[in-house]
Structure 1
Amino acid sequence: MEDVKKVLTQKSKKAKMEQRGKLISFLSIFIIVAVVVSIFYFVASKGLATFFVDKVNFFEFLFGTKWNPSQVGENGQPLVGALPMIIGSFLVTFLSAIVATPFAIGAAVFMVEISPKQGQKILQPVIELLVGIPSVVYGFIGLSVIVPAVRSVFGGTGFGILAGTFVLFIMILPTVTTMTVDALKSVPRHYREASLALGATRWQTTYKVVLRAAVPGILTAVVFGMARAFGEALAIQMVIGNAALIPTSLVTPASTLTSILTMGIGNTIMGSVENNVLWSLALILLFMSLVFNIVIRVIGKKGRLN
């Protein structure tokens, strides 16, 4: 009787395996959360040192227009105005998204609604190839092709916001296109069938039914592309000119948060003002990544409600 009771009460092999699986899952989640929290803490502690240790005015940092951390201004504080880099980052991000979105939507409509077979054979391999190209290759192409083209057409040196926009447009196009394709495919088939049954043409169905139903997914794709463009460093550094000045036109040299970071982080001493202000720029980038993620979540929730 006791042997039977022992057999019935002891855990089976499958139950033990399930318990181990849960333990491994929770451990993995804990490690991921700990890594993310550690990154946030490290960047925040270094970035906030600019204001709490070096006593740099927060508003002068955000809205100042002069960037030369090794020099001191008339107010006795280092010249660490980050406004030119912030403006440059937002300009190339929004402009590249504006240029990439129509191309991405057109390619996605072709792959899903017009000619799925040809899209899978031709466009899909091209998009996958664009995803796999390293950033430095995009930068070299931009430096060798786009910058001279901008110089010959628009004048100036060729370096600037416009060249950076073209490079980032090519870089974010695969991301926006792929996610837009998924958004169009997620539209229920009966939407199309009902529209066609009511007498709408294929183009009317695509424009007034499919695209409108996929708007939340398309917006999510665009925001993902913007997040990729905002955080791009090497390629944009090679074509934007890296001048810490507020851009007066699209063809004058400018800079972004990432270009100044990659140029200066290896030439500063840890704990110095020059190093701390670079970490403050990194903190802005981290904050913007959070903003993009929040926007994506809000769009996703509205899409589910609709």
Structure 2
Amino acid sequence: MLQVPQAQAITGDNAPPVAVAPLTKRKVTSTVQEARIKRLFVASGFFSVIIMGLIVLFLFKEGLGLFSTVSVKDFLFGDFWYPTYDPPDFGILPLIAGSVAVTVISSAIAVPLGVGAALYLGEVAGHRTREILKPAVELLASLPSVVLGFVGMVVIAPLMQQWWDIPTGLNVLNASIMLAIMAIPTITSIAEDALHAVPKDLVEASLALGATRLETLTRVVVPGAMSGIGTGTILGMSRAMGETMVVLMVAGGAAQIPGSIFDSVRPLPATIAAEMGETPFGSEHYHALFAIGIVLFLLTLGFNLVAAYISRRFQQRGAATL
């Protein structure tokens, strides 16, 4: 019977040399390039944070000077904005009310239309239709705000006066419609991309289990894309909150608390844009405008934080549903 000799352990000096593949010049170059690109991205991120921090620091430095002579309560809850009177009034409650009014109404118009357009483009429209409509929507997003403001002044305002027999067409509703037109392309584009990101396997599995197209859309596709839809909604509403030119041209410019959608208002961004150029440097009026900028910054920041929280909750709920 043949015996197979046992393999001897090879240790020490008896071990054959292990061949180590040399690191090629190409691999070294690729590694160095990746390290440089990584450092570039990190530097870009830090640069953005630093610039943002400097802007916020300058904003607070110039705006907080007002509160040495005006109390925070009188500033936030005062009913009158007459910065050039003697003595002046620096109450911005009418300005805050105007910003909130146009933002809420424009969002009520833009969010359903934007999400509905995204659902149509992503789930209903054919390939050829989508190729035509989506570039048109994205082109609408690049339309200058001054053009929309001009349309609101020349076209929409006279039509409102004629249809509803109101004193002026430059009012809350006009500004809200123009802001909604600006926000719809942003909401539609981002929401449509989010709908396309939902895995097709989930859609096919839902249809294979007997769900209708509508049930699949409402119970699978929309919950799976809710985070992206929420992000698009946030960006669209944030643009409406901070937009300057449209509200300056079509909101009417009256610093008053609106009683109806046909009243003229002056939102916070329009006030800064209209008055900063004629304000003496270092005056109370100058510091008041920067204080308005602080309020607008805090409102936008708070709005984004709340919306991001809601978006995360929808994302978790959608993940649990799927």
Task: Judge same fold: TM > 0.5, yes or no.
Answer: yes
Q: What residue identity is the alignment partner of 2:125?
A: S
Q: Are residues 138 and 144 of structure 1, via their aligned partners in 2, closer, same or farther at CA, if it must alter by over 3 Å?
A: same
- Pair 1:132-2:120 in alignment: no
1:68 aligns with 82
Q: Which of residues 239, 242, 249 in structure 1 aligns to 2:253?
A: 242
Single out whichever of 116-125 and 90-99 deviates more from structure 2.
Answer: 116-125
- Pair 1:290-2:306 in alignment: no
Instruction: Please give the residue correspondences for 1:1-306 in structure 2 after superposition, counting only pairs within 5 Å.
Output: 13-52=29-68, 55-72=69-86, 78-154=88-164, 155-305=166-316, 306=319
Q: What residue identity is the alignment partner of 1:241?
A: G
Instruction: Output the CA distance in 2 between the equivalents of 1:88 and 1:225.
Output: 18
Aligned partners of 2:227 and 2:314 also within 8 Å: yes
Deviations, residues 202-252 of structure 1 (Å, cap 9, x unaligned): 122223332233333222221211100001001111111000111121112
Aligned partners of 2:276 and 2:286 also within 8 Å: yes
Aligned partners of 2:223 and 2:315 also within 8 Å: no
Bigger CA radius of gyration? 2
Aligned length: 292
Could you tell me how far 1:296 is from its partner in structure 2? 4.5
Identity %: 37
TM-score w.r.t. length of structure 1: 0.88
Q: What residue identity is the alignment partner of 1:96?
A: S
Q: Which runs of 5+ in 1 are unaligned?
A: 1-6
Instruction: Output the CA distance in 1 between the equivalents of 2:64 and 2:244.
Output: 22
Instruction: Output the CA distance in 1 between the equivalents of 2:228 and 2:161.
Output: 37
2:3 aligns with none
Q: Are residues 17 and 191 of structure 1, via their aligned partners in 2, closer, same or farther at CA, if it must alter by over 3 Å?
A: closer
TM-score w.r.t. length of structure 2: 0.84
Q: Kindly report the root-mean-square deviation, in angstroms, between the aligned alpha carbons of the 2 structures.
A: 2.2
Instruction: Output the CA distance in 2 between the equivalents of 1:93 and 1:300.
Output: 19
Instruction: Output the CA distance in 2 between the equivalents of 1:192 and 1:16.
Output: 43
Aligned partners of 2:59 and 2:290 also within 8 Å: yes
SS at the partner of 1:182? helix
1:4 aligns with none
Could you tell me how far 1:100 is from its partner in structure 2? 1.1
Single out whichever of 248-257 and 118-127 deviates more from structure 2.
Answer: 118-127
Q: Which runs of 5+ in 2 are unaligned?
A: 1-21
Instruction: Output the CA distance in 1 between the equivalents of 2:111 and 2:136.
Output: 17
Single out whichever of 132-141 and 105-114 deviates more from structure 2.
Answer: 105-114
Q: Are residues 200 and 46 of structure 1, via their aligned partners in 2, closer, same or farther at CA, if it must alter by over 3 Å?
A: same
Deviations, residues 51-83 of structure 1 (Å, cap 9, x unaligned): 13xx2110111111100112245xxxx311101
Single out whichever of 118-127 and 292-301 deviates more from structure 2.
Answer: 292-301
Q: What residue identity is the alignment partner of 1:36?
A: M
Could you tell me how far 1:22 is from its partner in structure 2? 4.0
Q: What residue identity is the alignment partner of 1:238?
A: M
Instruction: Output the CA distance in 1 between the equivalents of 2:207 and 2:33.
Output: 52
SS at the partner of 1:252? coil
Could you tell me how far 1:17 is from its partner in structure 2? 4.0
Instruction: Output the CA distance in 2 between the equivalents of 1:17 and 1:122.
Output: 40
Deviations, residues 112-167 of structure 1 (Å, cap 9, x unaligned): 11124144223112212211211110110111111112212222211110000110
Single out whichever of 216-225 and 250-259 deviates more from structure 2.
Answer: 216-225
Aligned partners of 1:224 and 1:292 also within 8 Å: no
Q: Are residues 89 and 15 of structure 1, via their aligned partners in 2, closer, same or farther at CA, if it must alter by over 3 Å?
A: same
